[in-house]
A and B are shown apart, each in its own frame.
Chain A
Amino acid sequence: MVQIIGIWVASLLTLCIFSFLYKDNPFYKFAEHLFVGVSAGYWAMYSWYNILVPNLGRPLFIEHEFILVIPLILGILMLLRLFPKVGWLSRWPLAFIVGMTSGYYLVTFLQTNALEQARATIIPLNHINNIILIIGVLTGLLYFFFSTRHKGGIGFAARIGRMFLMVAFGASFGYTVMARISLLIGRMYFLLGEWLHII
């Protein structure tokens, strides 16, 4: 019985969301507000039980890992935004997060997005596919040179690079649209199969 009610609720909410395809309407508004509210509540509980309690509460107050006092203080500073007189203190944890992130990802990105990519691009020019790949990478790289005027030979190469990018985007677009259609098929299968038992 509970399962049947669940299927009916999910199906009606799906139709409410699909009604947006016609235009904004009270059914969509209801589903939208319900979705946003429920998901916000869900993520609040998720953060409490899966992030704060296991990563801060338990290690600090039960296992006495006092180093965790630092993130606790940073978190409290963040909450000081609620008090206008001392709200400026919330900039400190923000500055810490932004600075730490930039430094941390410098090494990660240099390895994965630069060194590994460059290494994978170094291939022998013994096949037409390899030659196209090299031309695409080098001209694409030239397109992303910002401190040089894109005129003459560099401009021509940058235009070729842009063409390669657009071809890649087109292929990616088609691929993703196909994936989205499979999601739609899944939803239609739910409506017509599990709910209406037509198929």
Chain B
Amino acid sequence: MILLFLIASFSISAYDTPNDAGSSITLKFSSSLPFISGEVMRKNSDGEFERMASICSSDSSWMDNFTVDGVEYFYKIVLTTEEGIVTSETVSAVSSPQWFHKGRTIMLVMVILVCGFILFFIREARGGKELYVRPIAGIEALDEAVGRATELGRPIMFITGIMDMDDLQTIAGITILRRVAKKAAEYEAQVLVPTSRSLVMTAAQETVKEAYYDAGRPDIFNPDNIFYLTDDQFGFAAGCDGIMVREKPGAIFFMGSFYAESLILAETGHSTGAIQIAGTAMPSQLPFFVTACDYTLIGEEFFAASAYLSRDPLQLGSLKGQDWGKLIFFALIVVGTVLMTFGITVIRNILMVR
């Protein structure tokens, strides 16, 4: 009679873990009675129950991450109470993967919206519509810096940061390198590009080579000017510093992803008297570039630079589309904050990504 009462006060359910890639079943249980210890037992259709895990009184769920999709598993929980051993009813479930993660619906919506805006504005730009981009001081100084280095008869130094080609900032830096190299080729100046990653060196060599071809000066392209130093952060910084003080470049560009070496590089460049332009989206390093460089492209200005410089419809349309994306977030924050002030959390909840 007591055992029957105990079983009645213990509930258990098993179901396929939602929004996952399969191989997982979740067990939910609740007990209104205190127990000393508990064990989760599992078996498949033709096997014997075996112990899978121990549970304590504060647990209310347990996840079995070692299931085979499509196979039915049976679970029960064995509790040790002061009155004796209590076994729950047996429940079963089958695990399977889900194609769509419902907790990430907002991500899908935002990707569609932002990409939709971008595609729309690219189409507009290609159709001949003039898309405005506001002036950005650092970008307008790029040509000036190249010109100044040429007048001084000194090379130009371009550093793409210390990260690899899988970093978007490095890719953005390489895009700006193309513009700088083309201008340098027109002025018959040399561009030195020390890199800390072999892949970046390869990409930079290709980019500079194409820029010199575009400018009609492939004859003055020197692949040895784009070279690998080391993957080591401070080894790279020491190498760049040495080049700065020996080659005395007239203009130095820091365009990419930088970490603790940023101030070492920018300060050394500053001491050589070179005009310095930096661009990065690393919030922790921006203060150093703002302090030690003549111009700094802050965060997204850095990514907007290539669109501004090239006036390419594809990039201009992307920039305009991203602005509309920002406008959506601006509106969401304004509306969400007002509602939140009155205790309504609907917008905040919508933005939750699980």
A→B interface (CB under 8 Å): 17, 20, 23-24, 28-29, 31-32, 35-40, 42-43, 47, 78, 81, 90-91, 94, 97-98, 101-102, 105-107, 109-111, 114-116, 118-119, 121-126, 134, 137-138, 141-142, 144-150, 165-166, 168-170, 172-173, 176, 180
Contacts and interface: CB of A to CB of B under 8 A. Distances in A.
Contacts of A170: 287
Given A31-B238, A32-B242, A149-B132, 6 more contacts: A101-B168, A107-B107, A110-B110, A121-B333, A123-B340, A146-B134
Contact of A101 (B171, B230, B241, B347): B171
B340 A147 contact: no
B241 A32 contact: yes
A119 B107 contact: no
A144 B230 contact: no
Given A122-B347, A124-B340, A115 B106 contact: yes
Interface of A is mostly: helix
B230 A43 contact: yes
B199 interface: yes
A116 B238 contact: no
A11 B10 CA distance: 68
Nearest to A20: B241
Contacts of A150: 134
A72 to B, nearest CB: 16
Nearest to A151: B134
Contacts of B242: 24, 28-29, 32
The 8 closest A-B pairs by CB, nearest first: A39-B232, A39-B235, A122-B336, A43-B231, A173-B287, A169-B287, A119-B351, A40-B230
A138 B340 contact: no
B202 to A, nearest CB: 6
Contacts of A123: 337, 340
A125 B337 contact: yes
B330 A146 contact: no
A101 B330 contact: no
Which range holds the interface residue count of chain B?
Answer: 35 or more
B286 interface: yes
Given A32-B241, A81-B202, A90-B202, A115 B231 contact: no
A110 B111 CA distance: 8
B299 interface: yes
Interface string B307-334: 1100000000001100101110110111
A147 B351 contact: no
Given A119-B348, A138-B333, A144-B299, A111 B323 contact: no
Nearest to B300: A144
A102 B168 contact: yes
A40 B171 contact: no
Contacts of A81: 202, 205
A115 B107 CA distance: 8
Most buried by B among A36, A105, A107, A134: A36
A121 B319 contact: no
20 contacts: A24-B246, A28-B242, A35-B234, A38-B235, A40-B231, A42-B232, A43-B231, A94-B165, A102-B171, A118-B336, A119-B351, A119-B352, A121-B333, A124-B341, A138-B334, A144-B326, A146-B301, A172-B286, A173-B287, A180-B263
A177 B180 CA distance: 32
Most buried by B among A78, A91, A148: A148
A121 B230 CA distance: 40
A107 B238 contact: no
Contacts of A115: 106-107, 110, 351, 353
Interface in B102-145: 106-107, 110-111, 114, 131-134, 136
B35 interface: no
A75 B203 CA distance: 14
B298 interface: yes
B218 interface: no
Contact of B235 (A40, A91, A98): A40
Contacts of B326: 141, 144-145
B57 interface: no
A94 B290 contact: no
Given A36-B239, A40-B229, A172-B284, A137 B333 contact: yes
B273 interface: no
Contacts of B333: 118, 121-122, 134, 137-138, 141
Contacts of A124: 337, 340-341, 343
A125 B341 contact: yes
A36 B199 CA distance: 18
A114 B232 contact: no
A176 B284 CA distance: 8
A173 B111 CA distance: 35
B128 to A, nearest CB: 17
Given A94-B203, A118-B329, A149 B110 contact: no
A153 to B, nearest CB: 14
A81 B199 CA distance: 11
Interface string B235-253: 1101101100110000000
